[in-house]
Amino acid sequence: MSSSWTEAREGVRDIAPAAIAAIPIGALFGALATAKGLSVAEVALMSAAVFAGGAQFAAVEIWRFPAPVAVLAFSTLLINARHILMGASLAPKVGALRPWQRALSFGIMADENWALMERRALTHPLSASYVFGMGAFFWVSWQIWTCMGALAGSFMGNPRAWGADFAFSALFIGLIASFWKSRTSSRARPADPRSGFGGRVVDLVAGFWKGSATGVTVVASGLAAALAYRWVGPPWHVAAGAVAGIAAAALFSGGADVNASADQPEAGPVAEAREEAAS
Amino acid sequence: MIIDPQNLAAIVAMALVTYATRASGLFIAHRLELTGRLKAAFDEIPAAVLSAVIAPSVLATGWPETVAAALTMIAAFRLPLLATVGVGVVSVVVLRWISG
């Protein structure tokens, strides 16, 4: 087996849990879209060409007949503006890809495969085989399940009754935790002397405050997004939360200098950044 | 299998806008000189974006969703991704049933 085949298989393996979790989400989207009055062909076209779950759900929410093209485009822009930051963060890690491969692979960059590419880049250089194995598998499965949902439509019953509407949130919480873990495990921490569940909770909380800018980011982003959602309305919450979370990470990394001296030495992205800032 | 011209126009517009947001990162990345505080902020973009997207359903829907999200977060630090999703879906169903 060539190593590129192995890389592609690893891409599929890594995205498989997200692809499975996306099954009810895709089916739910297809069912909602056809209930709104879109045809199965239109659902298929949107899933293939847009391939962005959040923007697609929001579009169905505001869809009218005739379609308000400018409103739909603007809503899509607001929700997907996060891709600009995501792409800028990922771009330096795809140096091994040819220009056309970059242009194509960034065209199928969704939250899930982007998050997993970022995670992969922490330990391995990204190859075209990995990126396209992962991306193609995720794209094809999104087409299949949104179309199935559109065809099945009202046969699915109430998705809330079986928790399908929460699968999306649960999937994203899992991805956030994998980033959080990658930050805390990358720093040298002495073994915790406490034992038992209470000790582990204390350790978790201590790791949160001492070690991880991720926790601060998650709290700031979540609160800002929830407030923006309540007081301004969708789709502004995405931009508000992202900006607040990133600003909090920047403030945390600076403010931590003041009281970091008493803590154990740290390694990892934040500490590296701190060292760079100090030099 | 019908595609309404106005709907087609909307879908094409959505696709073009989305591709523009995705590809633009390729053009701005090499102009960013990331050091210190800025780099620390950049490292946290994934968590910030993902949290913002789900915040309404987690924090602004009802207590069952908020509690289910907390349980999912705890599970996420111990279990693989798919099991984490399972914990989230099952706990939201149970908690919604409790809340009536």
Model ipTM?
0.85
- Chain A CB within 8 Å of residue B99 CB: no
Out of B44, B53, B87, the one facing A214 most closely (by C-beta) is B44
Chain A contacts of B26, Cβ < 8 Å?
A: 87, 91, 102-103, 106
Please give the Cα distance from B38 to B40 (Å, whole number). 5
Chain B contacts of A86, Cβ < 8 Å?
A: 25, 45-46, 49
Out of B7, B21, B42, the one facing A84 most closely (by C-beta) is B21
- Tens-level pLDDT at each residue, chain B (100 residues): 689 999 999 999 999 999 999 999 998 877 766 677 877 787 787 788 888 888 988 998 999 999 999 999 999 999 988 899 899 999 999 999 999 8
Grouping H, G, I as helix, E, B as strand and the rest as coil, residue A124 is: coil
Instruction: Supply the pLDDT for residue A154.
Output: 61
Please give the Cα distance from A161 to A1 (Å, whole number). 45
Please give the Cα distance from B27 to B16 (Å, whole number). 17
Please give the Cα distance from A47 to A32 (Å, whole number). 13
Out of B44, B58, B81, the one facing A169 most closely (by C-beta) is B58
- Tens-level pLDDT at each residue, chain A (279 residues): 568 999 999 999 999 999 998 898 898 889 889 888 899 999 999 999 999 988 898 788 778 888 889 878 987 887 788 888 889 989 999 999 999 999 999 999 998 999 999 999 999 999 999 999 999 999 999 999 999 999 987 666 677 777 877 887 888 898 888 778 776 654 434 444 444 555 555 555 555 444 478 889 999 999 999 999 999 987 788 889 989 998 999 998 765 443 333 333 334 443 443 333 443
Which tokens sit at A165? Answer: 């509407």
- Chain A CB within 8 Å of residue B33 CB: no
Q: What chain B residue is nearest to A220 in terms of C-alpha separation? A: B48
Which tokens sit at A163? Answer: 């928790």
pTM: 0.69
Q: Specify the DSSP element, H or E, that contains B54.
A: helix B45-59
